[in-house]
Amino acid sequence: MFPTQAGGLPVLVALDCGGELCAFLNVCRHRGTLLVEEAQARATIQCRYHAWTYGLDGTLRGAPRTREEPDFESEGLGLVPVQVDTWGPFVFVNPDTDAPGLGAALGGMPKALAENGIEVGSLRFRQRVPYELGANWKIAVENYLECYHCQLNHPDFVRVIDERRQRTEVDGLRLSQFPPVHPDAARGGTPYDVGGGPACAQYHVLFPAMKLNVNPGRPNLSIGPLWPVGPGRTRGWLDYYFPEGTDDAWIDEMRAFDDQVGAEDARLVEAVQRGVESGALSHGRVLARTEELIVAFQELVRERLTRAPALNAAGGASSSG
C-alpha cells in the first residue's frame, strides 16, 4: 500500500487480499488521523492514534472499547472509497465515485501516444523530480499550454522542435500540443540526440492539472500533477519513464535538457505572478489562435467555477482527474 494525494485530498492505494487494486481516503473514520504516510506491506491498516484497524478492503475490523458503546455500528465506519484505475504503469484515483471512469478522462491520449511509438506497458519508472513554483496554479498551467514564448525564452528547445508548425488538439479534458522535430535537428547541434524516434513531440494537460510529456528522440515519457498549495505557490512532480535498456548517457542528456527548459519556464511564470499580484493590470489579452489551448483551459475553469455554488450547496465540489 502507498499514500498519495488527489487535488489536496489524502488517498491510500492498496492491493486487497485477493490482489485487487483499491483506494480510499487516507484518514481514520474516528478522528481523521492520517493512516499511512509511507509505502509499506501490511495485512491490515491501523490508525496509530487509537488503534482503529481496517482490512485492506476498507472495512472496520476492530476499534478498542467500542463494545462498551451501546449504539456503535461498525458497518458504516469503513474507509471512504475512491475511484481507482490503471493505464500501463500509472495508477489514477478520483475521489468522486460517481464521475465517469478513467477511460472517459483520458479520451484519445492512449491512441495519440501509441501512434507516436510510445507503448506505455513497456515503460519502466526511472526517477521522480519534485518542484515548486512561486506562481499561481493557473498561471503555471497556462504557460505550459502555449509556445508563443518559446522563440524568445527557450533557445535550445526551438532547436529541437518546430513550434511554428505544431498541431494543437482539444479532446474533452485533454489539451494537447504536437510540435514536429525541427528539420535542422538531424544535422546535429542540438542539446541531445533527437534521433531514434518519431518526428513529433507531445505535450498534454489532462484537466485540471496532470502534465504528460514526450520529448523527441528515443521513447520517453514524463508524467505528474501540478497542484496549488497557496494563492501564489504551486507544487508538483514529474515521474520519468523509459523502456528497459535505454542508454543511461542519453537519458542524462535528455533530462538535463528538460531541467533547463523547466528552469527557464519557472523564471517566466514567477515574473507573471509578481506582475499580476501587484494589481497594476486589470485584465490581459489572450491571442485566440496562437494561445487557443489557454482559451480552452479558461473555459474549463470558468465552467467549473460557475457550477461551484450548486455543488457546495449539495455538500462540496468534487475533484476531477
In this structure, the answer to whether residues 142 and 186 fall within a common structural domain is yes
In this structure, the answer to whether residues 155 and 286 fall within a common structural domain is yes
In this structure, the answer to whether residues 201 and 147 fall within a common structural domain is yes
- Whether 91 is covered by a domain: the verdict is no
The boundaries of the domain holding residue 222 are: 107-299
- Whether 51 is covered by a domain: the verdict is yes
Residues contacting residue 254 through CB under 8 Å, at least 6 positions apart:
192, 215, 217, 220
In this structure, the answer to whether residues 66 and 112 fall within a common structural domain is no
Q: What is the mean pLDDT of residues 258-285?
A: 95
In this structure, the answer to whether residues 113 and 253 fall within a common structural domain is yes
pLDDT of 7 reads 77
Write the CATH number for 204: 3.90.380.10
- Whether 312 is covered by a domain: the verdict is no
| Count of domains forming the chain | 2
In this structure, the answer to whether residues 182 and 246 fall within a common structural domain is yes
- Whether 60 is covered by a domain: the verdict is yes
Neighbours of 3 (CB within 10 A): 17
Task: Say if residue 135's pLDDT is above 90.
Answer: yes
Which is nearest to 196 in space by CA: 272, 118, 273, 142? 118
Identify the weakest region by mean pLDDT among 204-208, 245-249, 308-312.
Answer: 308-312
Residue type, 22: C
Identify the weakest region by mean pLDDT among 180-189, 213-222, 237-246.
Answer: 180-189
- Whether 71 is covered by a domain: the verdict is yes
Q: What is the mean pLDDT of residues 89-100?
A: 91
Among candidate residues 53, 86, 119, the one where a domain is terminated: 86
Write the CATH number for 37: 2.102.10.10
- Whether 101 is covered by a domain: the verdict is no
Query: How far is 224 from 240, CA to CA, in rounded Å?
Result: 9
Which is nearest to 27 in space by CA: 42, 57, 7, 49? 49
Residues contacting residue 240 through CB under 8 Å, at least 6 positions apart:
125, 126, 127, 128, 129, 220, 221, 222, 251, 255
| Inter-CA distances, 9 with 22, 94, 95, 168, Å | 16, 10, 8, 32
In this structure, the answer to whether residues 172 and 254 fall within a common structural domain is yes
Half-sphere exposure of 244 (CA within 13 A, CB side): 2
In this structure, the answer to whether residues 77 and 183 fall within a common structural domain is no
In this structure, the answer to whether residues 131 and 15 fall within a common structural domain is no
In this structure, the answer to whether residues 160 and 36 fall within a common structural domain is no
In this structure, the answer to whether residues 82 and 222 fall within a common structural domain is no
Identify the weakest region by mean pLDDT among 55-64, 82-91, 123-132, 308-317.
Answer: 308-317
In this structure, the answer to whether residues 154 and 39 fall within a common structural domain is no
- Whether 66 is covered by a domain: the verdict is yes
| Inter-CA distances, 247 with 196, 212, 242, Å | 12, 22, 10
The answer to whether residues 157 and 138 touch, using CB atoms and an 8 Å cutoff, is no
The model's confidence at residue 309, banded by pLDDT at 50, 70 and 90, is low
pLDDT tens digits, residue range 171-189?
999 999 999 999 888 777 8
- Whether 92 is covered by a domain: the verdict is no
Give pTM, 2 decimals: 0.88
- Residue corresponding to grid cell 501564489: 232
